[in-house]
Structure 1
Amino acid sequence: MWEELSKPLKRFIKLRVKSDQDAEDILQNVFYKIQTNIGGLRDVDKLNSWIYTIAKNSIADFYRIKKFETEVFETPEELASVTDDESTANEEIAQCLKSMIMYLPEKYKEAILLTEYHNLTQKELGERTGLSASGAKSRVQRARGKLKEMLLCCCQLEFDRRGNVVDYKHKSDDCKFC
């Protein structure tokens, strides 16, 4: 199985992560999961899609863990004061978004900070704020929508085929966010 699948799986993974080393680690993880869970596969005809689902989930897990390892900001003031010397478009837009969060209504600001920066699930957000799971999910989605609206009012964005910001231009010099 390794000989047949390792090259196409590695290509699949490398298209979705930046580092060859990370791709290799994810590939090893995929084969570990295949080995330990193959007994639960019900339909052998769907083996290929099952394997690629494991790969997609492993990539998502990789990014989830990487996000968790990044710095967590305790207060909105700390979040707003962060600056980064690197100047890629994604990082600059991320800084704008961090500033924009401070302009959200309190309930949306709280939802974004707790889910995106303190890594709470939407269910945990609901439990913490007294909302139902669907109410918490709606609040996070509305907050994201408001951030997107603010960003698009402020900036003109150019994306690559993967959805990464490759360039941006402020629509006016008096943007209060960036």
Structure 2
Amino acid sequence: MKTEELWLEFSTELLTFIQMRVRNEFDAEDILQDVFRKIHLSIHTLSDESKIQSWMYQITRNAITDYYRTSARRNGIETHFDDEIKLMETEEVSNLNNLVSGWLTCIAQALDEKYREAILLTELGVFTQKQLAERLGISVSGAKSRVQRGREKIKEMLLACCHIERDRLGNVIDYQRKSASCNYNLC
């Protein structure tokens, strides 16, 4: 993939991402230029083009961190930008986790009744699987099966609409809708 194509496809999105983290509009534009310079110089190192968006966002996060470190050094300010960047990234992950969990509630509405009820009461509600079994008058293993099948169906439905990128802890760090005409309403 060529840098020019990436610029056309992602520059506006990345600039918005940077502007949310850097107050000065001109600095944000400079950071974007630096990001694309780094992309251009290291695009040949990317082994899996399907991960290009996540790779570009990682370069962008690193550039923002460098911006704050350089700015602090230049101004002689002693600060803990690493802690602030970690907090910023934690908030971002939390926001993405919340966004995707909201989708799960919407997708659950499209499940067959027996799976929808099992998921809404246990995974998205406060019931244990044992309480679900008692409420429905089925065995505990039957309740566990419904919950498990419901989870699998939600996962299939979600992955049919979106590509979800997660970190090693399972947190959502990036997503991309596969199609605007997804069959399921993601709210």
TM-score normalised to structure 1 length: 0.50
Q: Answer with 1 or 2: which has the greater Rg.
A: 2
